[in-house]
Structure 1
């Protein structure tokens, strides 16, 4: 009888302990869950822990590369390398605000420039996966006054829309001019009313174009009923606890802007394009971008079919290894190996986001003092996979 009681007691205790564990897990999940069905969520499971020996070896290799290539000449940088969601190496140097002698730290949001496009594309793809919009829907379906019939969501995402670059025509005083701030809605009205011709028929070739992503930001607003700033907060930033990340728009105080500088520390001022978002204007940190990368590489990020569409190249009119998917750049080699990344450049801000889903590794670099060396960090991919770079290649210019 005592044995029966003891067995029952052990079973009840196990159920109670498991119940407590489940409650803790549920609370954690609830904390990270948005009330939006299309929100990005953190990974469900942790990847294997890196061994101390592996971390030490990679840390040494990364530090050697960093010091040899940048050293004291690269004065402003936020830099991070991680694998399996675990930081191997990070470095924060230089001034967030030189005039106020404010240094860059791990919590300093810097302008990520065109890496913003990866965020805009991620939100659009989540809306597609949730059946709120269709990948091959015409943009005109959502904005009936839009004058072009051949522009689809896909061709905006992969830069095959054929639209003109807004920064090339809005500086014309007859169209808009450089003396007043341009917003996304202003841009849409310009397209509606100024008879801006297209550069080419949609889906005939690739042309990297900020107009595409400024329009995609407006689509996010149309579908969600929220301003882009709020939508990104609800879809991505809050669920992933990206606490040092935000969007700068026409309603934001200029005090939010971390200054950017030329190579001689001459400060960039605000110009007439600084209020346009979606193509740029997210401020973030490497640690927050790591959280974003972890979520993008989680198994529940997108359906298998849509993920395949995101990671395939769309532009083969010209022979070469460079291509573009849905909101992500790529290098494609004849071996079948692919490297996914996105760079950014706005005023003095340069950025690089290199994501390696297969290896569960990521390399992130942000700078608010202009320097093309930011773009060379993809060479570090050789430390994690079979990529045709060497750590000692000469510097090649790239944006």
Structure 2
């Protein structure tokens, strides 16, 4: 996009109205009294509204800035899912590959890579069954340890494979480990090499809880501003664990639009709804939540996240390439509730709201 085109978007009457109405909404719903984090709105990659407030770390009073990196929580799944699809493009794995190709002793049969991506595996959620199996909660779990526990104890499946959509974090820890087996690299290294470095996402990384925090890595807080420490589950990656800035997330959004990162057929597969047991527009693709309308030009591709005191929102309004990003590090369900008025301001209002995760 030329500088003149950017100025035309930024200086338009629409952009000015968005800035005024979003600022007013922030005063009422996401004021400095309740919201610590970042909010960014862009159209075709041009930032229309950007706000940073609150504290990276309440104990040190370090303010949130455009360099602040937030725990994305389940928005991390968008990177995991697209990393898997990048390996499919390279011929390193197939969507129909059974899990036993990667985990020969895995006791759950009939599950493929695609069923992990679209949450149709029927597997149990490790965040629940590991509670009774962990002996030492002071040690960070790893993906490999969770897989070992599943292989050894075989907690009951929720459903038979491919019967129902059942959102499950276990799917994405398995995908992160499949990425490692198919690429020959650590999950964090593959994402760094494939996405973060080429896209100059300098504030984005896979967090290692055993290492010291990076510069501008935000602390998770309860609403009371009490710091919420990592727990044993923070060692697991793929379903969460990626930190990023608001501007880096805009780079991720724009790279997907660019056509340079993925083939058209890969993006079509990622944004296809795969679950039709329930009527309505809400659905799931490969690593993305979807609002799939009869008029496909109005489709919305998004993901929310919630982990500890981190609440996150990432919306991609495909019709006019508008982007909404909210990243918070002080627990606040109002972040999700703010989506509806923001959608109305941006001209994408609808009666159906997305959930928290």
TM-score when normalising by structure 1: 0.82
Q: Deviations over 1:119-165 (max 9, x none)?
A: 11111111112222111211221222222221111110111111100
Taking only aligned residues, the RMSD between alpha carbons, in angstroms, comes to 2.2
Alignment-derived partner of residue 228 in structure 2:
268
Shift of 1:385: 4.5
Alignment-derived partner of residue 327 in structure 2:
366
Q: 1:223 to 1:87 in 2, by over 3 A?
A: same
Number of residues of Structure 1 aligned to a counterpart in Structure 2: 350
Aligned partners of 2:11 and 2:114: how far apart in 1? 44
Aligned partners of 2:170 and 2:103: how far apart in 1? 15
Shift of 1:387: 3.8
Q: 1:80 to 1:225 in 2, by over 3 A?
A: same
Shift of 1:63: 1.7
Q: 5 Å matches for 1:317-332?
A: 317-332=277-292
Alignment-derived partner of residue 204 in structure 2:
245
Whether 2:110 is the aligned partner of 1:150: answer yes
* 8 A Cα contact 2:29 2:338, kept in partner: no
Aligned partners of 1:75 and 1:252: how far apart in 2? 28
2:46 pairs with 86, 91, 99, which one?
A: 86
* 8 A Cα contact 2:275 2:283, kept in partner: yes
Query: What secondary structure does 2:300 align onto?
Result: strand
1:115 pairs with 61, 72, 75, which one?
A: 75
Aligned partners of 1:386 and 1:283: how far apart in 2? 28
Q: 5 Å matches for 1:276-315?
A: 276-315=236-275
Aligned partners of 1:75 and 1:195: how far apart in 2? 41
Structure 2: tracts of 5 or more residues without a match:
none
Q: 5 Å matches for 1:1-399?
A: 48-49=5-6, 50-54=9-13, 55-173=15-133, 176=135, 178-249=137-208, 251-253=210-212, 258-333=218-293, 336=296, 337-379=298-340, 380-388=342-350, 398-399=356-357
Deviates more, 1:325-334 or 1:363-372: 325-334
Shift of 1:46: 6.1
Shift of 1:333: 4.0
Aligned partners of 1:82 and 1:135: how far apart in 2? 33
Q: Deviations over 1:238-277 (max 9, x none)?
A: 0000111111135533567532111111221221111111
Q: 1:335 to 1:297 in 2, by over 3 A?
A: closer
TM-score when normalising by structure 2: 0.91
Shift of 1:305: 2.3
Shift of 1:196: 2.4
* 8 A Cα contact 2:35 2:332, kept in partner: no
Shift of 1:313: 1.2
Deviates more, 1:76-85 or 1:324-333: 324-333
Aligned partners of 1:275 and 1:261: how far apart in 2? 19
Aligned partners of 1:87 and 1:255: how far apart in 2? 26
* 8 A Cα contact 1:160 1:203, kept in partner: yes
Query: What secondary structure does 1:216 align onto?
Result: helix
Aligned partners of 2:64 and 2:75: how far apart in 1? 19
* 8 A Cα contact 2:32 2:53, kept in partner: no
Structure 1: tracts of 5 or more residues without a match:
1-44
Alignment-derived partner of residue 21 in structure 1:
none
Alignment-derived partner of residue 28 in structure 1:
none
Deviates more, 1:152-161 or 1:334-343: 334-343
* 8 A Cα contact 1:260 1:348, kept in partner: yes
Shift of 1:398: 3.6
Bigger Rg, structure 1 or 2: 1
Q: Which structure exhibits the higher relative contact order, with contacts defined as CA atoms closer than 8 Å and separated by 6 or more residues?
A: 2
Deviates more, 1:347-356 or 1:129-138: 129-138
Q: 1:358 to 1:161 in 2, by over 3 A?
A: same
Shift of 1:195: 2.2
